Amino acid sequence: MFDNLSEKLNAVFKKLGSKGRLTEKDIDEALREVRLALLEADVNFKVVKDFVARLRERALQSDVLESLTPAQQVIKITNEELTAVLGGAPARLTTANHPPTVIMLAGLQGSGKTTTAAKLALHLKKQGQRPLLVAADMQRPAAIDQLIALGKQLDIPVYSENPTSKAPAVCANSLKRANELASTWVIADTAGRLHINEELMNEVAEVKKVLQPVEVLLVVDAMTGQDAVNAASEFHAKLGLTGLILTKMDGDARGGAALSIKSVTGVPVKFIGIGEKMDALEPFYPDRLASRILGMGDMLTLIEKAEKSFDAEQALKLQEKVKHAGFDLEDFLVQLRELKKMGSFSQLVEMIPGLSSVASKNPEAVDDKKLKKIEAMVLSMTPQERRNPDIIDGKRKRRIAGGSGTTTQDVNQLLNQFRQTQKLMKQVSRMKKGGGMGGLGNLGKMFR
Q: Could you give the CA distance from residue 400 to residue 433 in angstroms, rounded to a whole number?
A: 34
Q: Could you give the CA distance from residue 18 to residue 345 in angstroms, rounded to a whole number?
A: 32
Range list of β-strands (E), 170-261: 185-190, 215-221, 243-247
Q: What is the dihedral of CA 88, 89, 91, 95, to 10 degrees?
A: -150
Q: Taking the mean position of all CA atoms in its chain, how far away is CA 14?
A: 26
Q: What is the pLDDT of residues 93-131, one digit of tens each?
A: 999 999 999 999 998 888 889 999 999 999 999 999 999
pLDDT of the residue at 74: 84
Q: What is the pLDDT of residues 309-345, one digit of tens each?
A: 555 565 566 566 555 556 788 877 777 777 666 666 6
Residue pair 438/337 in contact (Cβ under 8 Å)? The answer is: no
Q: Could you give the CA distance from residue 7 to residue 207 in angstroms, rounded to a whole number?
A: 45
- Is the predicted pLDDT of residue 437 greater than 80, yes or no? no
Residue pair 83/290 in contact (Cβ under 8 Å)? The answer is: yes
Which of the given ranges, 7-11, 235-239, 436-440, has the highest pLDDT on average? Answer: 235-239
Residue pair 429/317 in contact (Cβ under 8 Å)? The answer is: no
Burial label for 5, CB within 10 Å (0-12, 13-18, 19+), is buried
Q: Which CATH superfamily is domain 299-447 in?
A: Signal recognition particle, SRP54 subunit, M-domain (1.10.260.30)
CATH number for the domain formed by residue range(s) 101-290:
3.40.50.300
pLDDT of the residue at 140: 84
Q: Could you give the CA distance from residue 125 to residue 52 in angstroms, rounded to a whole number?
A: 42
Q: Where are the domains of the chain?
A: 3-86, 101-290, 299-447
Q: What is the pLDDT of residues 337-396, one digit of tens each?
A: 776 666 666 666 665 554 555 555 555 555 667 778 888 999 999 989 988 888 999 999
What Å distances lie between residue 407 and 373, 378, 419, 447, CA to CA? 11, 13, 19, 17
pLDDT of the residue at 396: 93
Report the CATH fold assignment for 3-86. Answer: Four Helix Bundle (Hemerythrin (Met), subunit A) (1.20.120)
> Identical fold at 3-86 and 101-290?
no
